Amino acid sequence: MTWSEIKLWHRLNNKQFPYRFIRQKPIDKFIVDFFSPDLMLSIELDGGSHIEEKYKYDLKRQEKLESLGVRFLRFSEEDIRLKIEDVITSIEYWIEENIK
């Protein structure tokens, strides 16, 4: 795991959220960074090394997983490093808005 993945994992895994998250979860033939089965939510971290081909692959992968009912939130590693509280607030907001 990268430093940003570790930092986010500690926040997702510390019981701050009422939903369980799994890291490196296989779904279909893909692996997502963090996944909540109760929310059907994948949280993906995009690193600085996301060149255009990787970005296109990620979008196709996301499209396939969305067809299976998986929903996505994406954050950059820079967001995690510099604005982790904003990231956590965004996740909390997403949960409030999407889970009634």
- Element (DSSP H or E) covering residue 75: strand 71-76
**Has residue 76 been placed in a domain?**
yes
Of the pLDDT bands very low, low, confident and very high (cuts 50, 70, 90), residue 18 is: confident
Number of folded domains in the chain? 1
**Has residue 55 been placed in a domain?**
no
Region 4-23: what's the mean pLDDT?
Answer: 90
Residue-wise pLDDT tens digits, 43-98: 999 876 556 777 788 889 999 999 999 999 999 999 999 999 999 999 999 999 99
Calpha distance 74→87 (Å, rounded): 10
**Has residue 69 been placed in a domain?**
yes
Tokens of 92: 């909390």
Can you give the CATH number for the domain in which 27 is found?
Answer: 3.40.960.10
**Has residue 54 been placed in a domain?**
no
Look up the pTM and report it: 0.89
Calpha distance 81→64 (Å, rounded): 29
**Has residue 56 been placed in a domain?**
no
